[in-house]
Every structure is written in structure tokens, then in C-alpha cells.
Amino acid sequence: MPRDGRLAHPKLAGDGRQAAALGAALRDVAMAELEAAGHAVQVSDLYAQRWKSEVDRADFPQLPQDVRLQVPAASRDAFAAGALTGDVLAEQRKLLWADALILQFPLWWFSMPAILKGWVDRVFSFGFAYGVGEHSERCWGDRYGEGTLAGRRAMVVVTIGGWQEHYGARGINGPIDDLLFPIQHGILFYPGYDVLPPFVVYRADRLDPDGFAQAADRLRERMRTLATTPPIPYRKQNHGDYLIPTMQLRPDLGRGAAGFALHRLDGKG
Amino acid sequence: MPRDGRLAHPKLAGDGRQAAALGAALRDVAMAELEAAGHAVQVSDLYAQRWKSEVDRADFPQLPQDVRLQVPAASRDAFAAGALTGDVLAEQRKLLWADALILQFPLWWFSMPAILKGWVDRVFSFGFAYGVGEHSERCWGDRYGEGTLAGRRAMVVVTIGGWQEHYGARGINGPIDDLLFPIQHGILFYPGYDVLPPFVVYRADRLDPDGFAQAADRLRERMRTLATTPPIPYRKQNHGDYLIPTMQLRPDLGRGAAGFALHRLDGKG
């Protein structure tokens, strides 16, 4: 099964200590495990690729200079015309090639680093990741469980400087599953991915060799079970749970849950 | 009262239709209202400034080439030595100058555009926005209500393409207050800001002249009340509500609430 790893860690100095960097080390652990099982892996190292983070006019070379940039419309037209830039098209091809996507990043300010957000902003174009499908009484676009990437799996691998307790159900930062909801539900489930539970390493800056060995073992296990781990049971949009077009969860569903947990069949936060 | 507006909208073509762009129009409405009341305003237009979004070695010119980049340590050393890059120092000076910060952006993939996240990643350096204060039995760093920017106000102005219902308490995207929690609590309250309720415009791509006039009126009112609007009542970290060092909300607090709502004194989501 092909795999697609995507990395957003600052490019490291090319010396012997590079392998000690946690992000690169975890990537290597995951790749080795996948390749040992016979999978093909493509890596997009955004820093090494010098990925362009900002959406701007340069992303739409066919947009006439006298037309004001409106990103959704420009994205729609460029995707339809096959006129997106080469770096974006290459990433879209990788996503269509891969059965699974792994987004690996350090949690910065409770979200992904800018360079990875810029990968999402540019690669997830109109017609590819949003603006897909018809709008009718039965369907409000192919999204949230349907769409271009349906039938594929995605998973977040995230390294966090803080303590696990600070990200617990009552921890001051907020529960990690809720902090990741805009990414896991809003970015990955939206265009169709089945989203696996996240792989999280806490106190990543202070991991000692034993701690790394344990994290590596956990990650290897997650790679071995990538095709079989049950995904987070997010509710699909067009399967009757939501009213169209207001997209409210039906009043008889989700009793006892609130917030993001409403959108999981198991009601968990 | 000085004000500091910060914008992340793609730079528009310099033609007559520029003023029609919603982001620029809302910025102009807010600035005019503030200046009419005698306030000074500085604008950081990130696209116009060609803001660099990615954190990388170039941000730490004093870091020896043979030292591996570890961002928190490099950020700490550069801030302490006054060796951050000029663009970052200029933004930090603006934040220290302003009594209030307004972050204006379109909601892209349920968060801020990459260029604005890159402003946070780079400007909110160690020693400035995190890694501030002592760690003891009574204090776990100056954060979440304390810190460099304490005593100042911040507010998000966000334009959203989707429907308000889709961002309601039971809407499929999740409640807007929860989607903004990583920004409002994790980015703004963390270094000390009092965070005002967000100003949100829905269906922003389809706003007709009447809709714009109404949004402009609402925004003017928010500018007039910028100094008096009660902030979101997030719980302060070092005032007894959280156990140190696990930073768990005390068991006797937040009954009946869950998720992010635990961290508000009013228990609202």
C-alpha cells in the first residue's frame, strides 16, 4: 500500500546530529516500518522543497492582471483549466497516488506551522478538496466523509513541547482531540479522508533515549495497523444526520454531547 | 488610544475595484471609526509587506552554522540578545505600542491563512510571548492572562464564506467559538491579552450592499466599544483555578461544562 508522508519541520543542518532531531527520527522510523512491510512511501519535506506558504496572485498565472483576486473563484477556474502551479499539481498527484496520508508536524501555537498550513491552503484547491459535488435536497456538496479523497486514510503525527496533562480533558490548553478538530475534521475529513486517531508525543523537546524508544515503538505499531485501525467515527454529512441546507445536527441526535463531540457517532470529545 | 490592525488578505490589484474587496473595506471602516475618535492606528498588511511565513535558520542569524536548529532555544537566545530579525522586531514594537490588537483574516480551512500563522510563529518569540516568568508552586510561567501583553486588548475580525447556521452550536463545522479557541485562548490570551468576543461576517463572498452596510455598522459599534466591551471570561492560570504543575482545572470547578468551555468562568462553549 503506498503511503505519503508530509513533514513540516525546519530543515536541519546537514551534519551528523541531524538524525537526533525528533521529527526526522520519527519520520525515519515510520518510513522504515512501512517499507519493511512492502509499502511505497513518498515524502514531501516542505522545508527542503522550499514550499511557498502564501496564497497570492502568483498561484493563478492565468488570472488577468486587471481582475481582482478572489481566491475561491481563482482556485476553481485554475483547477478546472489544469492551470494550477506545478508545485501544487505535484502535491495533488501524490495525494491521489497514496492510500494514506500522514501529516507530521510540531504543534506551534496549538496548530500546524505556517508552512504546513500553506500547503493546505494551496494544495486543497476548489474543485479538488472543496467545492466538489452537487447541492440539492439530499446532498450539500461532497464533503465531510465524501469527496475527492474518500476511501483513503489520513493521520496526524504531532510532537508537542508541553505536558500530556496540560492537554487532557481538564487541562488548561484544552483537550488535544478538540485542538486537533479543525485539522482532523475540518481539513482531513472534509475532502473525504477516513481520519485515524492522532499519534502524539508530549514533552518532545526533553525526550530521553528511553522515551524516544517508547515513542518509536508506539509509532511502529501505528504504522503496522495503518490499514486496520478504526477511524475516528465522525458523522458523514449526507447520510441523514444533518438537516439540509442548515447543516444542523438533527435534534434527536447527539443527546448528552456538546461542542465538537456532537459530530462523532460515539459522542466523545 | 493607539490601535494596531493586522491584516491577512491577498494583496489586491491596484485598480478601482480594490475598495470593493470585503477585507480591505472592513479594514477601512474600522480605521475610519477609530481615527474619528482620535485614536492612532498602525496597520500591518502582511501581503503588502511580503511577510516571510516560515520559521527557519534565516530567523536566527547568530545561530552558528554547525548548531542544529531547535526553534524554542534559538528563539530564546535571539530574543535575549536582541538578535531577532528586523521584521520581527518591528512587529513586536508595534504590539508594545498598541493598547489593542485586531487580527483580521478570512477563515481558511477553519483557521487563519498561512501568512498570518507565520506572523504568529515568528513574532511570538520565546521570551516575548512564551517562556515568560518563573515556574514555582504558585506560578507556572506568566501565561494565560499574564505575560508581556497583559493589560492590552485583542479581538479577531473574521470573514467566513459559509453560513452562520453551519457554525452554530449544532452546526456541522463546529461552533465558531470553539473553532476560534486555539486562536483566542491559545494565541491571544496566552501572552496576556484580554480577548474580546470575535466579530464575524458569514457568507462573506456573497455580501450585497445592504449586507455590507449592516456589517459595517456592527463593526463601527465594536470599534466604539473596543475599550469597554467585556472580554471573554477565560480563567487565568495562576489565580487558583488550576492545579500546579499538572494545570488541571480544580475538580470542584467547571461542573456541568466540558471541553473548551471549562476554561471560561461562565462555562460557555
Chain B CB contacts of A112 under 8 Å are: 117
C-alpha span between A59 and B27 (Å, rounded): 24
C-alpha span between A40 and A98 (Å, rounded): 9
Domain map (residue ranges) of chain B? 3-234
C-alpha span between B229 and A209 (Å, rounded): 50
Nearest to B269 among A171, A254, A258 (CB): A258
C-alpha span between A29 and B167 (Å, rounded): 39
A-B contacts (CB, under 8 Å) = 231
Cα A176 to Cα A55, B11, B144, distances in angstroms: 28, 34, 17
> A3-233 belongs to which homologous superfamily?
Flavodoxin domain (3.40.50.360)
Chain A CB contacts of B258 under 8 Å are: 169, 258-259, 261, 269
- The answer, as to whether pTM is greater than 0.80, is yes
Exposure string of A214-236, with b = 16+ CB inside 10 Å and e = fewer, is ebbeebbebbeebeeeebbebbb
C-alpha span between B203 and B161 (Å, rounded): 4
Phi, psi dihedral angles at B29 (to 5 degrees)? -60, -45
- Mark which residues 145-204 of B lie under 8 Å from A by CB: 161, 163, 165-166, 168-175, 178-179, 181-182, 185-187, 190
Is the ipTM, as predicted for this complex, more than 0.85?
yes
Q: Could you please state the CATH topology (level 3) that the domain comprising B3-234 is classified under.
A: Rossmann fold (3.40.50)
Q: How many CB atoms lie within 10 A of CB A167?
A: 23
- Let me know: does B8 contact B112? Beta carbons within 8 Å: yes
Name the pLDDT band for A267 (thresholds 50, 70, 90): confident
Closest among A125, A187, A129, A130 to A156, alpha carbons compared: A187
Instruction: Give percent of chain A with pLDDT exceeding 70.
Output: 92
What is residue B138's predicted lDDT score, i.e. its pLDDT? 87
- Mark which residues 105-144 of A lie under 8 Å from B by CB: 106, 108-115, 117-118, 120-121, 124, 144
C-alpha span between A49 and A71 (Å, rounded): 24
- Report CA A35 to chain centroid distance, whole Å: 22
What is residue B269's predicted lDDT score, i.e. its pLDDT? 65
Amino acid identity at A179: L
C-alpha span between A94 and B74 (Å, rounded): 34
Nearest to B114 among A53, A161, A169 (CB): A53
Per-residue pLDDT of chain B (269 residues), as tens digits, is 445 566 665 544 333 333 348 999 999 999 999 999 999 999 999 999 999 999 999 999 999 999 989 999 999 999 999 999 999 999 999 999 999 999 999 999 999 999 999 999 999 999 999 999 998 888 999 999 999 999 999 999 999 999 999 999 999 999 999 999 999 999 999 999 999 999 999 999 889 999 999 999 999 999 999 999 999 999 999 999 999 999 999 999 998 888 999 999 998 76
Burial of A54 from C-beta contacts in 10 A (0-12 / 13-18 / 19+): buried
